[in-house]
Amino acid sequence: MREFSAAAPLITSKREVSGWTLNSTNIATIFLDDGLRLRRFTTQAVQFIKLIPSDIGRPITDIASTLIYPELPTDTLEVLQTLVFKEKPVATTDGRCFSARVMPYRTQENKIDGVVITFTDITLCKKLEGAVQEFSARERQILENSSDAFFFLDSSLAIISCNLAAERMFGRNTSEVQGKLFTDLFPETKKTLSGKMYCQAIAEKSVQSFEYSTSTAHCPGSYRGLVYPQTEDILVSLQRSESGQKQEIIP
């Protein structure tokens, strides 16, 4: 085991590790010894590494995983040598993305005795980046400054992002609604904005329209909605209908 360097960021002692993992229940974590053998893991790690209790003591390189992280052994050994943590984004074969952070672990005797590796799910952030990159800077500025509300949704109709007009419409910041279903925030749209409409927009690469009315306190009135197909996600705009009358959609 390696002596502790005061300059290194470390996770310390089994008691502290236990409390630390309990306080990070949404973060997948694995613990390896200095031979890269598995010591313990949190249940969240099972979603991308096929771990079972009997794997304790096995080299992490021998355990099946959906992580696309061939540098894991190299990064781990480097952290053990330098005592400097490493962090990088890594993908999985099923399309998710995680921020992997490798940190030294020291014992109560102040000696390095392996590493702690955490995996924070950043899939939503990456989706947002991808959706925004489909627009030029000028188009993004137009959307952001538009008086119409625009929402980026994924294939399940969960919100990825929205513009300022959308934030004003429902009285919340983007960060408060990311990951929430659009149809849960606007339940009146469940009958019109459906998976079928989404599939039709993607398949035909055409704009689809819908209308709905709501009496909710934060955005009462009648609205026209447009669904714009993107490569993987969709863009939905909401515009208040004047005097509650339906508006003709001009091709």
Q: Which CATH superfamily is domain 125-244 in?
A: PAS domain (3.30.450.20)
Q: Is the pTM of this model over 0.85?
A: no
- The closest alpha carbon to 219, from 183, 159, 151, 168, belongs to 168
pLDDT in tens, 36-57: 999 989 888 888 999 999 999 9
pLDDT > 90 in the chain, percent: 21
Would you say 208 and 201 are in contact if contact means Cβ atoms under 8 Å apart?
A: yes
**Where in the chain is CATH 3.30.450.20?**
2-121, 125-244
Please say if the pLDDT value at position 111 is more than 70: yes
Q: Is 117 exposed, middle or buried (0-12, 13-18, 19+ CB in 10 A)?
A: buried
149-153, 219-223, 227-231: which is most confident: 149-153
pLDDT of residue 123: 80
pLDDT in tens, 182-200: 888 777 777 666 556 666 6
pLDDT of residue 57: 93
User: Bigger pLDDT: 220 or 135?
Assistant: 220
Confidence band of 250 (pLDDT split at 50, 70, 90): very low
Q: Which CATH number fits domain 2-121: 3.30.365.10, 3.30.450.20, 3.40.50.970, 3.10.50.40?
A: 3.30.450.20
How many beta carbons lie within 10 A of that of residue 238, not counting itself?
Answer: 22
| C-alpha triplet 4, 16, 33: angle, nearest 5° | 55
For tokens 């149809």, name the residue: 183
